[in-house]
Each structure stands twice: as structure tokens, then as C-alpha cells.
Amino acid sequence: MSVRVRFAPSPTGFLHIGGARTALFNWLYAKHTGGTFVLRIEDTDTARNTQEAVEIILSGMRWLGLDWDEGPTSGDGKASSKGSYGPYFQSQRSDLYKKRVRELIDKGAAYEHEGAIKFRMQREPIVIPDLVVGDVRRELTDREQLDPDFVIFRSDGQPVFHFVNVVDDLEMKITHVIRGEDHLTNTAKHLALFKAFGVEPPKYAHIPLILNPDGTKMSKRDRGASLREYIEALCLPEAVVNYLFLLGWSPKGDREIVPLDEVIKLFDLPQILRHNARFDVDKLHWINSEYVRLMSQERFNDYSVRALERAGISIRSFDPSYVNAAFSTGKEKVKQFLDVDVLRTKNEKKHIATTKVFSDFYFLPQVEVDAELSKELNGTNKRIMQAEREALARLTTFNADAVDAATKKVAADLGVKIGLVVHPTRVACTGRTVGPSLYHLMEVLGRQRVLERIDRFIAQCV
């Protein structure tokens, strides 16, 4: 029997990182088994659902690259063009729910009560066989002892979550329900409903939650809770996917950066870890920086442009070859495109290796040296900076090697340590003490900009 899994989010206006991971695990399992991945929007609670809330889920899924395989328009259910179907919307399936509730009433498994329809819940304890957490025995609570029956259709004619969730899993022939552990408490009800329909239930795999670093439950407002934060932070989607599959699953041998096609080969439900995962910003930061290193120069440039635009810097008036040369000097060192909360680690020094730090100075008419730094540089020897300026002005070819040789010669001629030339020259050119390799960035800036900046620096700081 071919595997059929689904991701069944309710549109709340927000795609939780735990939800994104649930979607990913379902998708991975479908890919691993050659099965089908269904996206079903559980939007029966009309008061909360808006088109915008649905769009947040769909765009989040697309951003992560989690294409779904079928939908109401697909006819034969086969995916010919990925992600172009559906998804299913529960709000469009009300006839089905009415038919199914009638079936339960006819069987004597449901009955009318004060205008609502209630399900006749079994009185015996239920054992939930779970592929991740093992067998879970659910006893009736004290309240349920008195009346375990529960409403499946409200008096206003709206079906209730437990009911539509089960009817759809049954209708869609879902073979495995992979979802957050917070749903484990609902599963006894769901198993009872399947039994009442006389249908074999799917297999369940409840995945442990993602907690805050301090072990508390993640709420909407916690850092990293919403997928939107990662998208806006210009995190790389493949890095977020890699980060997410490590939250609760692990390939053997301590590997952390794993290509997705390999994850698809290795992924299986029994290896999902049983303990709760913790949000770990250092790991996210590191994984993101690894993928930045791996990405193509072209794509890196594209992200860099977006990052600079967010900082109010436009590259439009610059020559494309200058832009490419500028970004190339940061390719191996930039760790993240934006300096944002979701990626801010405890261990960061004063300057995080962002696009801005590594490239804004290429595109600014002049650079500002911050007051603190300029105080620090106050002892810089004017004679040294003037000698460096003159040496650079005299070069016949202005490239990294020539600048390197000239700078060394200035230091040797004056009998000073090279750092006394290099350090203020970097600050003069970039406004900072960190950045790309100095001689390379000077080559890219070109002689005219470099000399202007050194002049301004001498006038202001020395």
C-alpha cells in the first residue's frame, strides 16, 4: 500500500516553526517512500480564517520548497506539475461532512443533543500505538467518566475539528498521521471515530515539540517561532530546512549539514527522537553560514542586493562588474545577510559578518568613522598615512598585489610595524576594523575612491 501523508494546518495568520517542521517531516516521509503528500487547510473555523492567513501558509510552504502532490483540481491525483494543485480546503467539503455525520447517526454512533450532534464515545481506555512515542494508554478523565461523549457538529451547523480531521484522513486514505505531540491528547477521540466508521485508522507518529532554549513552550511571540522571521531575515530556505530536520531527527554519525536528497534516502519515522527539541540559535546561525558559503556567487549577489536595499543602499547606479567584484570579496566570509534577531547569537563580537559590514562601503559616496573608533585612532601617525597615500598615488597598476607591496614598503621605509599602516588604511576605506581582505577591497574600490577616503580620514581623524 502506497504511503499517503498530509500536512493539515489551520490558517491562524502565522506558520509556526513547529508546523513547518511537521510539514517537512511529512514531505520527507512521502519522498522517502515514494508516496503522496497532501496539503489540507483546516479552515472550518470561519471566524478565524482569512485569505491572507491561507496565503501565509502557502507562501511558507513554497519558500521551504515543500511541494504537495495533489489537490481538488488534480482529477487522477497524480502530480504532473509540482505544487500547482489544490490544496484541499475543508471549507469546501461541507457536503461530505454532512453525509458522514448522517452515517454515524444511522449507525447509532452519534445522536442529537440540544441542537448539536454528539458522538457516543467508547467508555473503555484506548491504547494509541504511536511510531515515535510507543504505546500510549489513554484513561478517561474524571469528567469524561461522567460523560465521555463529545460534540462533532455544533448547533450552528459547523462541524468540529475532531470530526472533520478524521473524516478527511479517512476520505483521503491517509496512511500515516505525522503531527505535533500536542495532538496526542486528541488521538483517542480520533481512533474511536475511525472505529465507529468501521475503518482501519492510519498509523500515528507524534513528533516532540520544539521548546524555547530555556525549556518553556514556544509561544507566538517567542524568538524564532514564526517562519516569517526567517524569511524576512533573508535566511536561506535550504538552511532553514536543514535546521528543521535536525530538530527531532538526525542522520547517523554526527553529521549536521546534509544534502536534502540524502536526507530523503535516510529519513524514517522510527528514528524521530523522542525527546523535545530545543530552539538553538547558534546552530541555526552556523547552518545558515555554511549554506551561504556553499551558494553560487550569482545567488549570493542577489541576496546581497536585497540585504543592502533593506539598509537603504541602492546599487543601481554601479556597473555590474563593479558590483560583482565587490560582493565577491565577501563571499567566503559573510555569515548572514541581515543583522536580525532570529540569527543573533550570544557569541557574536561587535561586528557580525553581514552583507552590510562586508560591502556597504563599496556603494556609499563616503564612509563615516564612528566616534569611538576615531578616538581610538587619534594617535595615528599623520606621516604614515601621508606616506601610504603617496605610495598608492604613484603606483602604475592599482591592484591587490601592487597595493600589498607598496604598503609593505611604506612600513619598511618608515621602520614601523605593518599594522600601523594597514589598520588606519582599512578604517579610512571602509569605516570599520573588519571586512574583506584589505588589498582586494582596495583594488575593487579603485585608486580614486581610496585616495579620496584616505584624504578625508587624514583631515578628520589624524
- Residues forming contacts to ligand GLU in the complex (CB under 6 A) are 8-10, 42, 165, 177, 179, 183
Cβ-based nearer residue to ligand GLU, 190 or 453 = 190
Cβ-based nearer residue to ligand GLU, 10 or 437 = 10
Cβ-based nearer residue to ligand GLU, 10 or 345 = 10
**Pairing relationship of beta strands 88-89 and 110-113 according to DSSP bridges:** unpaired
Q: Closest separation between CB of residue 12 and ligand GLU, Å? A: 8
Side chain identity, residue 444: V
Place of cell 561587535: 350
Does 220 participate in catalysis according to the annotation?
Answer: yes
Q: Closest separation between CB of residue 18 and ligand GLU, Å? A: 9
Cβ-based nearer residue to ligand GLU, 176 or 179 = 179
Place of cell 560583482: 324
Cα–Cα distance, 457 to 462 (Å, whole number): 7
382: exposed, middle or buried (Cβ count in 10 Å: 0-12, 13-18, 19+): exposed
* Alpha-helical regions (H) of 281-381: 281-294, 297-310, 320-328, 355-363, 371-376
Cβ-based nearer residue to ligand GLU, 7 or 327 = 7
Cα–Cα distance, 169 to 175 (Å, whole number): 8
Q: Closest separation between CB of residue 79 and ligand GLU, Å? A: 21
**Pairing relationship of beta strands 203-207 and 88-89 according to DSSP bridges:** unpaired
Q: Closest separation between CB of residue 40 and ligand GLU, Å? A: 8
Bridge partners, 130 (sequence order): 134, 204
Cβ-based nearer residue to ligand GLU, 13 or 251 = 13
- Helix, strand, coil percentages (3-state) for the chain, rounded to 5, are 50, 10, 40
Q: Closest separation between CB of residue 165 and ligand GLU, Å? A: 5
Cβ-based nearer residue to ligand GLU, 59 or 386 = 59
Of 240, 248, 292, give the one whose Cα is nearest residue 65.
240
Cβ-based nearer residue to ligand GLU, 88 or 457 = 88
Cα–Cα distance, 380 to 99 (Å, whole number): 84
Cα–Cα distance, 347 to 207 (Å, whole number): 30
**Pairing relationship of beta strands 116-119 and 150-153 according to DSSP bridges:** antiparallel
Cβ-based nearer residue to ligand GLU, 57 or 384 = 57
- Cα distances from 164 to residues 53, 69, 283, 401, 452, in angstroms, run 20, 21, 38, 70, 70
Q: Please pick, among 98, 107, 220, 382, the residue that the annotation labels catalytic.
A: 220
Q: Which grid coordinates are listed for 451? A: 585616495
Q: Which grid coordinates are listed for 71? A: 489537490
Q: What are phi and psi of 291, to 5 degrees?
A: -75, -30
Cα–Cα distance, 356 to 308 (Å, whole number): 6
Q: Closest separation between CB of residue 186 and ligand GLU, Å? A: 8
Cα–Cα distance, 53 to 324 (Å, whole number): 38
Element (DSSP H or E) covering residue 52: helix 51-64
| DSSP character at residue 370 | P
Q: Closest separation between CB of residue 266 and ligand GLU, Å? A: 24
Q: Closest separation between CB of residue 30 and ligand GLU, Å? A: 15
Q: Closest separation between CB of residue 201 and ligand GLU, Å? A: 12
Q: How far is CA 174 from the centre of its chain?
A: 27
Q: How far is CA 267 from the centre of its chain?
A: 19
Contact 270, 212 (CB under 8 A): no
Active-site amino acid positions: 220
